[in-house]
Amino acid sequence: MALSVTCARAADLRVGLIGLDTSHVIAFTRQLNVATNKNHVPGGRVVAAVKGGSQDIESSAKRIDDFTRQLQEEFGVKLVPTVEELCQQVDVVMVESVDGRPHLAQARPVILARKPLFIDKPVAGSLRDALEIYRLAKEHKVPVFSSSAYRFYDSLQEVKKTNVGQVRTVISHGPAHLEPHHPDLFWYGIHPTEALFTILGPGCESVVRVSTPDTDVVTGTWTDGRLGILVGLRAGPLPHKVTIFGTKGVAEQKGSGDYAPLLREVMKFFQTGVAPVSPEETLAIFAFMEAADESKRQGGQPVKIADVLAKKQP
pLDDT at residue 8 in the model: 39
CA atoms of 285 and 40, how far apart (whole Å): 30
Alpha carbon separation from 23 to 20, 71, 131, 300, 303 (Å, rounded): 8, 11, 27, 36, 35
Rounded Cα–Cα distance for residues 25 and 45 (Å)? 12
What integer pLDDT is reported at residue 130 of this predicted model?
97
Residue 312 pLDDT: 80
* Contact between 242 and 257 (Cβ < 8 Å): no
Question: What is the set of domains in the chain, with CATH numbers?
Answer: 10-149+260-277 (3.40.50.720), 151-256+287-312 (3.30.360.10)
- Note the pLDDT of residue 245: 98
CB-side exposure of 311: number of CA atoms within 13 Å?
Answer: 12
Q: What residues of the chain score a pLDDT lower than 50?
A: 1-10
Evaluate if pTM is beyond 0.85: yes
3-state helix, strand, coil in the chain (%, to 5): 40, 20, 35
Give, in order, the Cα–Cα distances in Å from 175 to each of 121, 139, 142, 226, 245. Answer: 14, 36, 33, 23, 22
Contact present, 143 and 226 (Cβ < 8 Å) = no
Question: Computed over its alpha carbons, how large is the radius of gyration of the chain?
Answer: 19
How many CA atoms lie less than 13 Å away from 71 in the CB half-sphere?
Answer: 32
pLDDT at 25: 97
